[in-house]
Amino acid sequence: DWIPNKMTYPINEYLDELWVPTAFAKNVFKSAGTYIPITVIGEGFHPAMYSAALNSTDIIANRKRFFPDCRDTDVIFLSVGSMTARKGLEILLKSWVETFQPADPACLYI
C-alpha cells in the first residue's frame, strides 16, 4: 500500500495535522514522506453502542437506540464504509435523492 507522490506535497504544505483511522494508515503516510503530525483517531466505533454479541433481533428490538432519527415504520438503509470516491458515496446520495421523498418510509444512515 502506498500514497501517490503528488499527495504528499499538499498534505505537508497545507495541513497542520492528518487524522487517519488506523496505525496501518499512519505508517503508510509516514513511509510516503508525510512529516506533519499524524493522529490515529479510529474508525468511529462506539463499543458501548455496538457489540459483537448483538444480533439483528437485538438491533430491531432497540431500533430507536441505534437509529434515533428514523421513524418506527421506516425501512433503514445503512451504509458502512469510508467517505472516499471509490466507495461511491456520491452515487449513493444521488440515487437516494432520486428515489425517495422526505415523507417516504425510508431512512438512510451513513
Q: What is the DSSP string of 24-78?
A: HHHHHHHHTT--S-EEE--S---TTT--TT--HHHHHHTHHHH-TTS-TTPEEEE
36-92: per-residue pLDDT in tens?
999 998 777 666 666 666 677 777 777 888 788 889 889 988 887 776 777 887 888
Could you give phi then psi for residue 87, rounded to 5 degrees? Answer: -85, -10
Answer whether residue 1 shows pLDDT above 80. no
Phi and psi torsions of 85, nearest 5°: -55, -40
**Lowest mean pLDDT, pick from 10-14, 34-38, 84-88, 103-107:** 84-88
6-14 average pLDDT score: 88
